[in-house]
Amino acid sequence: MEYDIKDLSLKNIGREKIEWVKDFMPVLSSIEKKYIDKQPLKGIRVSMALHLEAKTAYLAIVMKNLGAEVRVSGSNPLSTQDQICAALVDMGISVFAYRGVDNETYNRHLVQALSHKPHIIIDDGADLAHTLHKKHPELRENVYGGCEETTTGVIRLKAMDRQKILKYPMFAINDADCKHLFDNRFGTGQSSLEGVMRSTNLSLFGKKVVVAGFGWCGKGIAEKAKGFGANVIVTEVDAVKALEAAMEGYEVMPMKQAAKIGDIFITSTGNIDIITKEHFVLMKNNAILCNAGHFDCEISMKQLNKIAVKKEDRRNGVTGYHLKNGNVINVLGEGRLVNLACSDGHAAEIMDMSFALQLLTALYVLDNKGKLENRLYNVPVEIDRAVAEAKLESMGICIDVLSAEQKKYLESWE
C-alpha cells in the first residue's frame, strides 16, 4: 500500500481521536449501518482531499467500510494532523499528507491521491478539480462525478461551470442547507474562536473583535464572539450584509477604520487582500490577526513579511511581526484557517451533517452514473431533508407534521 506520511508510530493517538468523534457522529454512523451489507462502494475508487483530522478520517473510514478503495491527501498544508494520517494508514487507507508540507509536496500529494484514476472525487477547496483539469487530465478518465465541500471550492467550480469546462458532474455540498446553515455558521463560529483562545491563551471579553465578511462564517464568528463578551466590529462590501450586521447590533465600518481600534481580527470572506500593509501600520501594538477563510490569501502575509523588521515565534501557532513603528502584529497559524491550524476544527456533531451529505451525494452520483451532465449541481433536496431528519432523530427531537388541510391551504391562492 502506498502512502506518504510523517510518522506511523503516532497511530494509536490518531485512533483514539477517531474513536472519540465516532460516538458523536450518529448520522454518518447510521448511513454506514444502513449500507454496510450492500457494500455499494465495492470496486469504487475514491480520491479525497480533506482537512485531515478525526472527523474527515471517519468519513474516509466509512467509505472504505462500504467497499471503496480510498486515497486521501490534505486540503491545506497546516490543517493535517499527523496522528490521524498514521491511524488511517494503519487501517489500510492510502494517505499522502503531513503537517507543514511545502507547496511542491502538497501538489505532489494531490496527484498521488488521484493516481489510482478515481471514480469518485471528494474535494475541499477544489484542488483535486484543479489538478484534474489543469495538470493531469489523464487521471480523470474514470471519474463518474463528485462533491465539493466548501464555499471557496464551490466558487471555483462555479467559475469552471460558467466557462463550460467541467469534465465531470460535481455537487455543491456547501450550498446545501444542512451544510452552510450549520457547518459554516455554528461550526466556524465556535472553532475559530477556539483556535484564537487555544493558541493565545487570552480572553475575548471586553476586546474589540473585528470580523471581516458577514457571510455564513462571519455571522457565526460574530455571534459567538459577542457571546464571549467581545465588542464586535464587522467589515463588509455587500450593502445588505452590512445592514444585517448593523441591525444585529454590531458596529460596521471599513477595515481602514477598524484597523486602528481592533484587538483581534478574524477574516472570513473567501476573498484576497482583506488586511494589507495599509492596515498593518495602523494597528495597535500586539494586535492579533487570524483567518478563517479557506485560503491563506485574506491577510497579506507577503506584505507583512516585507514590512516587518523582525519575525519571531511567540507561542505555538503565534508569530510576532515587529514593525518599524515599534509595534508587534501577532499572526495565528501563519494566516491559514485558524480553526484547523490552531485547533481541531469544527465540532463532531456539526461535521456529522456535512459528511453525511458528502456520503449520500457520492452514493447518488453512483446511482446516476452516465445520466448526469458535466456541470455543477445542487445537492438533491431529498438528501438535504434526509440529513436534517436523521440529525433531529439522533437528538431525540420530534416536530409537527402538516395536516392535509394545512398543506392544501399553503398550496392554494384563494
By CB under 6 A, tell whether 56 contacts ligand NAI. Answer: no
**The residue type at 408:** K
Among the candidate windows 40-48, 138-146, 263-271, 278-286, which touches ligand NAI by CB under 6 A?
A: 263-271
328 φ, ψ (degrees, to nearest 5): -110, 130
Nearest approach in angstroms of CB 257 to ligand NAI is 13
Residue 235: all three cell numbers together: 467589515
* CA 327/CA 235 separation, integer angstroms: 23
Nearest approach in angstroms of CB 323 to ligand NAI is 23
163 φ, ψ (degrees, to nearest 5): -80, 0
Residues 324-343 within binding reach of ligand NAI (CB under 6 A): 337, 339
Residues 170-189 within binding reach of ligand NAI (CB under 6 A): 180, 183-184, 188
By CB under 6 A, tell whether 235 contacts ligand NAI. Answer: yes
Which residues on neighbouring strands pair with residue 332, listed in sequence order?
318
Residue closer to ligand NAI by CB (options 119, 185) is 185
Residue closer to ligand NAI by CB (options 131, 343) is 343
* CA 220/CA 385 separation, integer angstroms: 22
* CA 118/CA 72 separation, integer angstroms: 11
In three-state secondary structure terms, 225 is helix
Of 269, 300, 319, 343, the one binding ligand NAI (CB under 6 A) is 269
Of 56, 83, 151, 354, the one binding ligand NAI (CB under 6 A) is 151
331 φ, ψ (degrees, to nearest 5): -110, 130
DSSP state string for 160-199:
HHHTT---S-EEEGGGSHHHIIIIIIIIHHHHHHHHHHHH
* CA 30/CA 313 separation, integer angstroms: 44
Residues 197-226 within binding reach of ligand NAI (CB under 6 A): 212-218
Nearest-CB residue to ligand NAI? 215
Among the candidate windows 41-49, 54-62, 232-240, 374-382, which touches ligand NAI by CB under 6 A?
A: 232-240
Of 241, 314, 322, 369, the one binding ligand NAI (CB under 6 A) is 241
Residues in contact with ligand NAI by the rule CB under 6 A: 150-152, 180, 183-184, 188, 212-218, 235-238, 241, 268-271, 274, 292-294, 337, 339
